[in-house]
Structure 1
């Protein structure tokens, strides 16, 4: 199982690298085609809605299917997305590909492959190691996304070498497809593994807990949808005239700070608990985001956003570990999916709203709304789950 975990880590790194440049290339590509912020928001919504539908379907069948096969199918869909996306130009067709495909406008823990990888990782991790395993998984994903952010500047180098700008952007989508193939090769080498067979519903004794978590996580995701990284990049492009290379550098450092917060989160969770770690690192990050909306210049805005990045993702490995801890092993694939799907659905609503808000006189309004809603979510999570402890905190 240790070898399988390493292969999952590597696959997560490849996908993280792909997402790292895709979230920046997507708004640049849409802008090059002549579309505005509203259109970018609509495509982000279509992508997240499709992710939710697909993740729900996979989560419901995963307890009775070979996880390895499902991951291979997901990697195949990633490759197909990268091949088709740059060959469509009409907004409706782009929306269809975004809905069906795997382009993720919000780099992180959303996507059809995420709950499958979570379930397989949880199978091989003891209670005392589980948070650390997920922290490493998130660390690798974030560092890879940081490297992918730097790679988003490649079109500018290609353009300087004589390649048309639109063609250079399309090449990045083909690279995305190639990384999907590489992920499939890694998944193919995993052992054939089925989740535990069960004759009852995918969720059993933990159903009420999972549904409560799913509702709260959807509030967090709805808030996050106002500043998905594609739209945050667009805000920086429009508000401060940031170049593609500069945006890539910023998101590199943003992802790097997020990456190194993951092992800190695992260390902190052992001392203050998973729920406390989620809440008391999240609230300050939301305050920094709200302040960034009122930043008088680029340097202040970037500084506040980097401070936010250092704290905002510390709830990712702790949240995943907590969900896996408070359900039975047989429920883990369904729990991962059921908590992920509302996140995708909720986050799919707000980008379209945010895209419209970016065109108003106060373009920082999506940042303010996001921060305020996230603070409300954190307080609700603390109130609802502070007494429900995972096994490692009760032993």
Structure 2
């Protein structure tokens, strides 16, 4: 148990480092791409390419992580982050920037992306008793939200300070990319400290015929397929309003300065983290599925209200109100996925549902960029995202309200 506790601390530490890095560049990533000379539609295309790269990396990890080693795959992901940061720092060539975005596990939203989450969830689930899983995931998400918030604050105000000091936009934003590369190096160092207990345990044998398995699944194929389809819909909707696009929308629509945007997303991510922790107590009372649905619908109504606000400050208030309940579904969703599959299917189930979310989110930033390039449709992404997410909530409740947790 002492060794397991150390591994849990290490996994929490890597999540904090990683989400800090995501938050650091999320506020300025779209602005950075624009500063390299890309137009509005091209920025959306690069964000879509970034998410498409996440699909390929995550799918590959799903297939090989348990065989090659979870620790090895985590180390590979850290190396890719470091290489991407160095490429952003050293070139403005559109093809190389796009390539770095594709393979570098960059998060336009500031949230979790890539192969890390599925591996860490599976490892954490076997390091603790099942009865503690939802609560641990709540703290795990709180740690990530706080790190994203701090990263957004540091990134926004650092960029603001550099611009005020006379730096060009491109040079100021590239300084944050250097921080992204350093975060990849820090991740490598911590991942090296993980023990063998994070790997698939050889004592966990199963009598299931290997011929009945598909991508690591056997008895839970149908339920994972249903969850993956719904999670893909939710992620597709969310891709219209990733943090980078919201920051850009506020910057263009209201003239919000980058420092203020960093402060906004600092507060939003703090509130989101608190909401994720509160969700664990709600789930104990009303169940995981009801927690997901009952908290998600109001947050999506608030999302639709953002572009209807007449000024920047009211828009920020609505975004903060939404953030205060927006992540309550996340630990419940993660724990529910682990609960409805067999223990030897957890890595595969987490990986497949993560890939499904990446597939869903991959195309929508491109569409959002196309909409935002048209002045008449500039705010359409908020309405599309909110409407689709509410549809997801209704379908999820109807399909899974009677399935065990």
- TM-score if structure 1 supplies the norm length? 0.96
CA displacement at 1:196 relative to structure 2: 4.6
- What SS does the aligned partner of 1:35 have? coil
1:150 pairs with 2:165: no
Q: Is the CA contact 1:65–1:195 (under 8 Å) kept in the aligned structure 2?
A: no
CA distance in structure 2 between the partners assigned to 1:300 and 1:110 by the alignment:
30
Q: Is the CA contact 2:23–2:111 (under 8 Å) kept in the aligned structure 1?
A: no
1:329 pairs with 2:346: no
CA distance in structure 1 between the partners assigned to 2:61 and 2:284 by the alignment:
32
Structure 1 stretches of at least 4 aligned residues deviating more than 3 Å after TM superposition: 159-165, 196-201
CA distance in structure 1 between the partners assigned to 2:334 and 2:68 by the alignment:
22
Aligned residues: 390
For 1:389, the equivalent position in structure 2 comes to: 404
1:3 pairs with 2:3: no
CA distance in structure 1 between the partners assigned to 2:348 and 2:243 by the alignment:
28
1:289 pairs with 2:292: no
Alignment equivalent of 2:393, drawn from 354, 361, 378:
378
For 2:173, the equivalent position in structure 1 comes to: 169
Moved more, 93-102 or 268-277: 93-102
Superposition map of 1:115-264 within 5 A: 115-152=118-155, 153-192=157-196, 193-196=198-201, 199=210, 200-201=213-214, 202-264=216-278
CA distance in structure 1 between the partners assigned to 2:31 and 2:18 by the alignment:
20
CA displacement at 1:109 relative to structure 2: 3.1
CA distance in structure 2 between the partners assigned to 1:141 and 1:68 by the alignment:
20
Q: Is the CA contact 2:32–2:169 (under 8 Å) kept in the aligned structure 1?
A: no
Q: Is the CA contact 1:290–1:368 (under 8 Å) kept in the aligned structure 2?
A: yes
CA displacement at 1:331 relative to structure 2: 0.7
CA displacement at 1:68 relative to structure 2: 1.0
Superposition map of 1:97-116 within 5 A: 97-116=100-119
Superposition map of 1:1-80 within 5 A: 1-80=4-83
Q: Give a deviation string over 1:285-330, Cα, whole Å, max 9, x none.
A: 0000101121111111111111111111111111111101111111
Alignment equivalent of 1:279, drawn from 280, 288, 293:
293
Q: Is the CA contact 1:63–1:330 (under 8 Å) kept in the aligned structure 2?
A: no
Pairwise CA RMSD: 1.4
For 2:91, the equivalent position in structure 1 comes to: 88
For 1:265, the equivalent position in structure 2 comes to: 279
CA distance in structure 2 between the partners assigned to 1:211 and 1:42 by the alignment:
28
CA distance in structure 2 between the partners assigned to 1:370 and 1:220 by the alignment:
9
Q: Is the CA contact 1:135–1:265 (under 8 Å) kept in the aligned structure 2?
A: yes
Note the residue ranges of structure 1 that are not aligned, 5 or more in a row.
391-395
- TM-score if structure 2 supplies the norm length? 0.93
CA displacement at 1:162 relative to structure 2: 4.5
Q: Is the CA contact 2:106–2:113 (under 8 Å) kept in the aligned structure 1?
A: no
CA distance in structure 2 between the partners assigned to 1:159 and 1:105 by the alignment:
22
- What SS does the aligned partner of 2:224 have? helix
Moved more, 213-222 or 53-62: 53-62
CA displacement at 1:86 relative to structure 2: 2.6
1:345 pairs with 2:350: no
Q: Is the CA contact 1:217–1:343 (under 8 Å) kept in the aligned structure 2?
A: yes
For 2:322, the equivalent position in structure 1 comes to: 308
CA distance in structure 2 between the partners assigned to 1:63 and 1:246 by the alignment:
43
CA distance in structure 1 between the partners assigned to 2:105 and 2:91 by the alignment:
16
